[in-house]
Structure 1
């Protein structure tokens, strides 16, 4: 098994954490990771861009001038795409940009992203990460203690509870730092709904990945 140091929020090493090789130490599949990121970004597109064709622009029902004997080019409508204020030719229309990706590819992509950060030495595991209040200064202190100040950092938290929500809120005013709730199953823990979801884009978009022990256990349970 792969092994990483286990730290507390003060940056002190308090032990070691074992990681399953089949999840955190596989050969990263770059193609599958690219497909997952493309899948994620495509689903974010609103697809609401819309322009009017010549049939949808108001006016233009009458032929502007006779077909012949005027010395001018023939025209059938002042709402033709070649006219000012006319319709748009081949313009965007509302559409669904979302794509599909097989579950096996999603799982492989997440394993690949986790393994990529582990092999780079950019994976950090904490025993826990909780704040009593959502204060930015608390997060800045944690970043300083972990020697992560000035770096792009992704914190992954296990459940939607007040202590973890405070961590998420404390990150909002720090550039390059983000916290997400890990579970994306929609299941409940003590009656509370989980949100966000661990995803490849966020992992790859941040230099450092910080997990808690509970998150590691959940990842190994889901991706086994």
Structure 2
């Protein structure tokens, strides 16, 4: 497959796209991102006294135990959420295939572009980042930019732009590829992607 003046490998950028594989990988990826720190207190964890509110019989009121019962405002929660680890394993083979399919879908739809470099300078400048987007005709749309390796100056320059994500080749993932309207890859990052998918 050819894009611009560069020949791309068909086994990475021209794979048959299967929606179910992409769905599986994204579901796994989002599950791994979940913190799972949600928690509520049961009646046994509250700091109320365990004293019985009123006698069991003879008052004409309903039968109650202590103040921490779940039917009272401020009482414990019955069957509430507890800290949970949502991680589950997905075969490496499936994860790699999902990444290839995501890259292929952007290439086949014509929503991928290659560029030589990003000239920001020695300090982060959002203005330079916007100039880069304008020069490539990718303004006002969601863009994922892939660079060969982590570059703090480039990443900080794009950080204030809500519709732009910058990822090193090692951090490339299915969710961020499919999230974007355009996938912009630096030419030097292509070899890094090949290395990652062949290891």
Kept in 2: contact 1:130–1:166 (CA 8 A): no
- Deviant stretches of 4+, over 2 Å: 127-131
Partners of 1:95 and 1:40 in 2: how far apart? 16
The answer to whether residue 79 in structure 2 is matched with residue 80 in structure 1 is no
**Equivalent position of 1:203 in the other structure:** 177
Paired residues of 2:113 and 2:183 also in contact (CA < 8 A): yes
- Per the normalisation by structure 2, the TM-score is 0.93
Normalising by structure 1, what TM-score? 0.83
Distance 2:118 2:21 in 1: 31
Tell me, what secondary structure is at the counterpart of 1:55?
helix
User: 2:119, 2:128 within 8 Å by CA — same for their partners in 1?
Assistant: no
- Whole-Å separation in 2 of the counterparts to 1:97 and 1:51: 17
Structure with the higher fraction of residues in helix conformation: 2
- Between structures 1 and 2, the one with greater strand share: 1
Aligned counterparts of 1:107 and 1:181: Cα–Cα separation in 2: 17
User: Are the equivalent residues in 2 in contact too, given 1:122–1:209 (CA < 8 A)?
Assistant: yes
Shift of 1:130: 4.3
Contact 1:158 1:181 in 2 (8 A): yes
SS of equivalent to 2:77:
coil
Measure, in 2, the Cα distance between the counterparts of 1:220 and 1:48: 37
Aligned residues: 197
Unmatched 5+ stretches in structure 1 = 6-15, 184-196
| Corresponding residue number in structure 2 for 1:158 | 148
For 1:127-138, what aligned pairs fall within 5 Å after superposition? 127-132=116-121, 133-138=123-128
Counterpart position of 2:133: 143
Q: CA deviation at 1:131?
A: 2.6
Match of 2:114 in 1: 125
Per the TM alignment, residue 22 of structure 1 is displaced from its structure 2 partner at its CA by 1.0
